[in-house]
Structure 1
Amino acid sequence: MRHVREILRLSLAGLSTRLVSERVGVSPTTVRDTLKRFARSGLAWPVPEAMTDADLEARLYGVCGVKPGRRKQPEPDWSVVARELKRKHVTLQILWEEYIAANPDGYRYSRWCDLFRRWEGRLPLVMRQAHAGGEKMFVDYAGDKVLVVVNRRTGEERAAHLFVAVLGGSSLSFACASWSEQFADWIEAHNAAFAFFGGVPQLLVPDNAKVAVIKACHFDPMVNRGYTDMARHYGTAVLPARPRKPRDKAKVEACVRIVERWLLGRLRNRIFYSLAEVNAAIAECLAELNDKRVLRQFGKTRRELFEEIDAPNLKPLPAEPWVCAQWKRCRVGLDYHIAIERHHYSVPYRFARREVDVRVTARTVEIFLGGERIAVHMRASGNGRHTTVADHMPSSHRRYGELTPAKIREEAARIGPMLSLLIEKIIEDRPHPEQGYRSCVGIIGLARRFGPERLEAAALRALEIQARNYPSVKSILEKGLDQVPVRQSPERAPILHTNIRGSGYYH
């Protein structure tokens, strides 16, 4: 600061140059230079009250950074510079070299950086966040991946994703590798993080990835139902960061960078043949990061801060870890079954055509309607088959589904031997036994209408006249033919005629 106004006030009040320099704390040369500039400016003392110190200095010394008589250098688009700096491996030096290549008479590097920092200072301020012990756990996936050799013979590689979690109070960091960023791996990574920290924080802070948030919203985001169930199991809650606001989870963003440099840099030359090997190597590196590396601003390691700040405030872990469960919306078909991953599961038939919520775990399939569980099954493989509970079927379907040759024979034998013999003949006459099931069931059902005695007599008449089907037996009963004895055909003498050749003709 030049103290221009104070120098002018004391000098024009009659004090010597030496006394002014001593009182203001500047050199006598600066005092004389200020008086010369004031005389050349054309201003009169006292200067107007509306003129600020900055305006007064501008009148005497000109605009800062611009030499008199020199034209203004081309100004770069600082917003583009700031945006380019967010890209990987881009620095101010690289951007300045591109700028000076396009503008040879532009700003030199030091001045260019100074102007950018000044422009950057006009950006919105960043609020410094304070995190209480055990309050928040920030979670995210790292951008870079770890390569794992999955086939020793061919050298085939597969990328493993890196899950990162950090506690807000102590910055204790956790990381583990998984094959994907899908929901099942997301939940398993959370289970591993909770086990690593030995407790549960009050809040989980993820970003707005689909695995965590179904519908992103600045004010009221819609969190994945399965993720909410997991949080409820552990006694915590989910507070997603605002959309496109990575500073809401700056803790984990910084942790991701640290973990990527700390882990991936150290593991870049190692070859892994399984996910377990990767996680074992990650655990070794994290132990050094958390237990040995001292944070300069605190003078303690992350582990020491964790034991002091976070550990006493974490909630205890439940007896069992959360079992990964996914919710799906399905419509029940006309066959009162729903399809989950190429397998069909039954629900009570009265809920056919209704939309239901399905909770799928590794072992079970639970079906809910209006918050009430209406069916539960053991999970089966996706083989295109079906799992049906008999109680879910209508009575007619259940009876038909229970049809077997043994059951049909048992029902017929209960009525009488003639009916049992007729049923045997019907089943034997069909190319496939199941083709005769419905005919047999229909004939046995006639006992309810006509009685067992008449049905037994009708079966005898049907056997005598070779009428082995349901319409014939029904006609016999309706016309009362079961009560009419069968007439025996009279014996006839052989017919002798000259035109009839006997058996001897062929000898």
Structure 2
Amino acid sequence: MRSVRDIVKYHSMGLSIRKIHDATGVAKSTVADYIKRFKELGLSIEQIDVLDDDALKLQFFPDVASVVVSRKAMPNFNYIHQELKLRKKTKVTLYLLWEEYKEDNPDGYQYTQFRVYYRRFVKKLNPSMRQTHLAGEKMFVDYSGVTMPIHNQRTGEVEYAQIFIAVLGASGYTFVHATPSQKQEDFIYSHVKCYGFFGGVPRVVVPDNLKSAIISNNKNGIVVNESYADLNRHYGVIVNPARPRKPKDKPKAEQGVQAIQRYILARFRHHKFFSVNELNEAIAELLDRYNNKIIKHLQKSRTELFNELDAPYLNPLPANSYTYKQFKIAKVHQDYHISLEKCNYSVPYKYIKEELEVRYSTQSVYIYHKNRLIATHPRLRRVGECSTLHEHMPSKHQYVNESMNPQRVRSWAKNIGEFSSVFVEDIFASVEYPPQAYNKIVAILSLAKLYGNTELELALMYATKHNTTTTKSIRSILDKKLYLSESANNVQPSSHYALFNNHSNIRGADEYK
């Protein structure tokens, strides 16, 4: 249902069906249908946002319509296109060609659909034309092929900073930012800085096809990297990437990159930088000079053009700055936790075995089910850490969690005997998350009620020596009194206690001085 949400949002921003089609890759007819349904529902954008995917689907598609496969003959658009090329001489029109088509195909397409298919055909012919940029509409972004060396003063190593360049289509007003890499986090951070530099947001951003922005861009459609899509949803910007290996789709970016390489980066050829921040400070000084430089054939600077053309038509910045997030689909384990970078986070237990969407930043983890937020956790960093919320547990587990804690379990084991304490410490040491051990510990210590404290102590002494930890095995030791077989071999219990005095979980008298 993501496409429905995006189409409705772009429609509310006043974008045309064609522009929404370009941004989402959804057919114009489908875009028009979704907009029509949205208007009929009479819902606001805020109401749409709070609906989960199931509720939204029920609102937009209450009935499943049957799919009708068209059997109409497709016009020969190669012939039609060639005929139209001669229209100055022959005076032929598209309407006349449609009439001729209908004579041969009475059940063929009507004129409106005929025109739609012809326009699609013409788009595939890839004509080259001069682009006209509307004020405040497009921003072109790219990386310079020329990088800048950064010298590490401590190690002497040299790393190369990447140069991000953004150019507004109408004015050519330019932003430049150096980052350690072209990785997604750096790429998105450059966009945030860029929008702040412009003091507003364009309607469309045209990136190149680097993986930090676009996963795929081919005849099957455009797939935008989810983190990049989230950034542009936050700012209300449409992503319309250039076609692969088609530099004419982004001439402003190509020209901007070349100009920055010559005007700014070339001036640094004899300068040694020791940090990316130092490089950005040097870039900022020259960038103002570049934007204020008079363009000869226009007799105006880029700054003047920006103030006249782009600035008045940029959308305002959101109230809150964007926080970088990553996205992942995670399956809920049987213990109602999901795993994220070797850390575990709980969700309500009813979602066991479900696939959930995880959105996480450097500080927080947000877990969604069908676009509805179901859990929030602070971001964990240590491998094996676990964040479990009490309300996510089944009622039985909530009771155990409330009644059990490591201190209480250790106190119970100490009242039974020394080997019970040792055994409990061994179990705690074998798990990453203490509550995972409670059920096993309770099952074993409860055997003292059936067999007595002394018998359980002897059984755990035997189990520890033979590295046996399962509840079933310890119950078998008690039933068969296996610990007596060692006594029959003239091994006194006292010698066993002496043997275990060296166990890592037993503290001697020196600990309490």
- Is the contact between residue 135 and residue 169 of structure 2 (CA under 8 Å) also seen in structure 1? yes
1:387-415 Cα deviation digits (max 9, x unpaired) = 222333344445555634654699x9xxx
- Is the contact between residue 218 and residue 243 of structure 1 (CA under 8 Å) also seen in structure 2? no
Aligned to 1:143: 145
Aligned to 2:360: 360
1:244 Cα offset (Å): 2.5
SS in 1 for 2:328: strand
1:126 Cα offset (Å): 2.9
Aligned to 2:326: 326
Aligned to 1:214: 215
Aligned to 2:281: 280
Q: Point out where structure 2 has 5 or more consecutive residues left out of the alignment.
A: 1-124, 428-437, 460-470, 476-513
Q: CA 1:442–1:126 in 2, change beyond 3 Å: closer, same or farther?
A: closer
State the AA in 2 paired with 1:212.
A
SS in 1 for 2:218: coil
Inter-partner Cα distance in structure 2 for 1:439 and 1:193: 56
Q: CA 1:467–1:304 in 2, change beyond 3 Å: closer, same or farther?
A: closer
- Is the contact between residue 203 and residue 238 of structure 1 (CA under 8 Å) also seen in structure 2? yes
Aligned pairs, how many? 325
TM-score by length of 1: 0.58
Q: CA 1:443–1:143 in 2, change beyond 3 Å: closer, same or farther?
A: closer
Aligned to 1:432: 422
Q: CA 1:284–1:157 in 2, change beyond 3 Å: closer, same or farther?
A: same
SS in 2 for 1:286: helix
Q: CA 1:409–1:148 in 2, change beyond 3 Å: closer, same or farther?
A: closer
Q: CA 1:367–1:155 in 2, change beyond 3 Å: closer, same or farther?
A: same
1:243 Cα offset (Å): 2.7
- Is the contact between residue 424 and residue 441 of structure 2 (CA under 8 Å) also seen in structure 1? no
Aligned to 1:386: 386
Correspondences of 1:42-81 after superposition (within 5 Å)? none
1:372 Cα offset (Å): 1.8
1:11-65 Cα deviation digits (max 9, x unpaired) = xxxxxxxxxxxxxxxxxxxxxxxxxxxxxxxxxxxxxxxxxxxxxxxxxxxxxxx
Higher relative CO (CA 8 A, sep ≥ 6), structure 1 or 2? Answer: 2
- Is the contact between residue 426 and residue 440 of structure 1 (CA under 8 Å) also seen in structure 2? no
Correspondences of 1:88-237 after superposition (within 5 Å)? 126-150=128-152, 152-218=153-219, 220-237=221-238
Inter-partner Cα distance in structure 2 for 1:467 and 1:222: 63
Inter-partner Cα distance in structure 1 for 2:333 and 2:440: 29
Inter-partner Cα distance in structure 2 for 1:395 and 1:242: 55
SS in 1 for 2:373: strand
Q: CA 1:424–1:206 in 2, change beyond 3 Å: closer, same or farther?
A: closer
Q: Does 1:375 align with 2:365?
A: no
Aligned to 1:301: 301
Aligned to 1:316: 316
Which protein is richer in helix relative to its size?
Answer: 2
Inter-partner Cα distance in structure 1 for 2:452 and 2:357: 54
- Is the contact between residue 160 and residue 177 of structure 1 (CA under 8 Å) also seen in structure 2? yes
State the AA in 2 paired with 1:284.
E
SS in 2 for 1:169: coil
Inter-partner Cα distance in structure 2 for 1:182 and 1:269: 27
Identity %: 40
Inter-partner Cα distance in structure 1 for 2:126 and 2:443: 84
1:230 Cα offset (Å): 1.5
Q: CA 1:404–1:132 in 2, change beyond 3 Å: closer, same or farther?
A: closer
- Is the contact between residue 294 and residue 302 of structure 1 (CA under 8 Å) also seen in structure 2? yes
Q: CA 1:294–1:375 in 2, change beyond 3 Å: closer, same or farther?
A: same
State the AA in 2 paired with 1:168.
G
Q: CA 1:462–1:341 in 2, change beyond 3 Å: closer, same or farther?
A: closer
SS in 1 for 2:273: coil
Inter-partner Cα distance in structure 2 for 1:209 and 1:405: 51
Q: CA 1:431–1:241 in 2, change beyond 3 Å: closer, same or farther?
A: same
With 201-210 and 234-243 compared, the bigger mean Cα shift is at 234-243
State the AA in 2 paired with 1:134.
G
TM-score by length of 2: 0.57
Inter-partner Cα distance in structure 1 for 2:443 and 2:342: 36
Q: CA 1:132–1:351 in 2, change beyond 3 Å: closer, same or farther?
A: same
| Larger-gyration structure (1/2) | 1
1:128-161 Cα deviation digits (max 9, x unpaired) = 11101111011111111111112x1432111110
SS in 1 for 2:163: strand
Q: CA 1:431–1:269 in 2, change beyond 3 Å: closer, same or farther?
A: same
Aligned to 2:487: none
Aligned to 1:350: 350
